[in-house]
Chains A and B, each alone.
Chain A
């Protein structure tokens, strides 16, 4: 069966510090991968999605970047965090032939 791992669960970082959130998927090949951000009490904002290694589509111009160094690994990064980067970050995957998504448990990022 397929599983998705996202870590860490919570993170407190100072303004101006770098960020690296990692997400890995097991039990499937060539998945579509997604990073979403959710503000408190709000919907999900699609940040990045990837249909293959090295293929990243950015949905929102911002302080963040994403990379997919391996088929089942998706990384969200920032060189210098802003206060506005605080939020709940969710990684998800879907089969390459579908958009039915399976989510990780999320990372709550607080920038202080």
Chain B
């Protein structure tokens, strides 16, 4: 079953602009993660935010988590053409299984 739902499904912006993607989920989580996928390739882990954290930074990435709203956002600042990819959020359940459930993803296109 799909836990996370990303919004928007597709996003096209100009190079240098900021890109914001949102993720909503349904059940209690241990952590939420963001991954990137270049076309036809495997996924690459970007950042993990734990359920007791509200914000996290990594380079040009900023992730927020609002557990009361069951939502997260990924901000990519000063976008580059190389950021063109699909971005997925994934959630790990609060209890029990060591598994990761992914959303449908946001297709990000950075125009030069």
Contact = CB atoms under 8 A, between A and B. Distances in A.
A96 B2 CA distance: 23
Interface string B16-30: 000000000000001
Q: Is the interface of A mostly helix, strand, loop or mixed?
A: strand
B99 A43 contact: no
B45 interface: yes
Contacts of B1: 59
Interface residues of B, number: 26
A112 interface: no
B88 A44 contact: yes
Contacts, number: 69
Interface of A: 6, 32, 34, 36, 41-46, 49, 51, 57, 59, 88, 90, 92, 94, 96, 99-106, 108
A99 B102 contact: no
A106 B41 contact: yes
B59 interface: no
B102 A49 contact: no
Given A99-B33, A102-B45, A105-B42, A46 B99 contact: yes
A101 B100 contact: yes
B102 A43 contact: yes
A94 B98 contact: yes
B41 to A, nearest CB: 6
Interface in B4-50: 30-31, 33, 35, 40-45, 48
A12 to B, nearest CB: 16
Given A32-B98, A49-B99, 4 more contacts: A34-B99, A43-B88, A43-B105, A96-B98
Given A99-B92, A100-B48, A46 B101 contact: yes
A102 B41 CA distance: 12
